[in-house]
Amino acid sequence: MNYEKKDSDYYSNVRHDLISLIDESKKGLKILEIGAAYGATLYHLKSSNIAQEVVGIDIFEDTKNKEKYLPLDTFIFGNIESLDVSKYDNYFDVVILADVLEHLIEPKIALEKIYKTVKPNGEILVSMPNVRHYSVFKQVFLKGDFKYEESGILDYTHYRFYCKKNIIALLESSGLVTKQIISSLNIYKGKSLTKFINKVTFGVFEEFFTVQYLYKGLKK
């Protein structure tokens, strides 16, 4: 996949939604992020004293925008599927995978490698798009158009697609114990019609209104 064609803004946001899954009482953590982009989330975690050490891995090095990279303790460029990260076995308190697994050819194999880098009782935080969202149904089944896009659920760099139960099954297959799985709809702070409909229907259609799921898993 050609990540050079991605707009630079695609790589630049702080993932406050995933950060909110970290226990507020925890400080001085060692945190790894796969798909760290310019390092914004990790830099925020360290500058907030949540993290003591931050390590970022990303498949693409944006040599045209080097000034956008934020200072991390370690930044590794390469594909997690082929990188040797065994020196970090049982090292990290938290590993973040923000919209990463759907981009991998063999996510299960990568997860087994990532799982080893987490300390016992450490956590893996994941966000993944939900292909059951009504917008995909509308485009594919009503319009008959499976057209890939620059970003979003049908991002052209996605190799795999998941519904909620598939996300849980994939992550638990690596040995994780599910602690939380949260719909992006439920953490959206603004007003929206889908949020209102979801509330008055007691969440019956939540999986059709959810753009992505946030997952928190524990390594036992």
Kindly report the average pLDDT of the chain as a whole number: 92
Q: Which of 116, 107, 117, 61 is nearest to 81 (CA)?
A: 107
User: How far is 29 from 40, CA to CA, in rounded Å?
Assistant: 17
The answer to whether residue 4 scores a pLDDT higher than 70 is no
pLDDT for 5 equals 56
Q: Which of 60, 168, 164, 153 is nearest to 111 (CA)?
A: 168
**Distance of alpha carbon 1 from its chain centroid, rounded?**
18
pLDDT tens figures, 54-109: 999 999 999 999 999 999 999 999 999 999 999 999 999 999 999 999 999 999 99
The answer to whether residue 35 scores a pLDDT higher than 60 is yes
Query: Which residues, in sequence order, are CB contacts of 40 under 8 Å at separation 6+?
Result: 12, 13, 14, 70
Contact 36, 42 (CB under 8 A): yes
Instruction: State the pLDDT confidence band at 36, using cuts at 50, 70 and 90.
Output: very high
pLDDT tens figures, 168-214: 999 999 999 999 999 999 888 888 888 888 889 888 999 999 999 99
pLDDT for 37 equals 95
Tokens of 54: 């931050």
Reported pTM: 0.90
Phi, psi dihedrals of residue 16, rounded to the nearest 5°: -65, -30
pLDDT for 11 equals 52
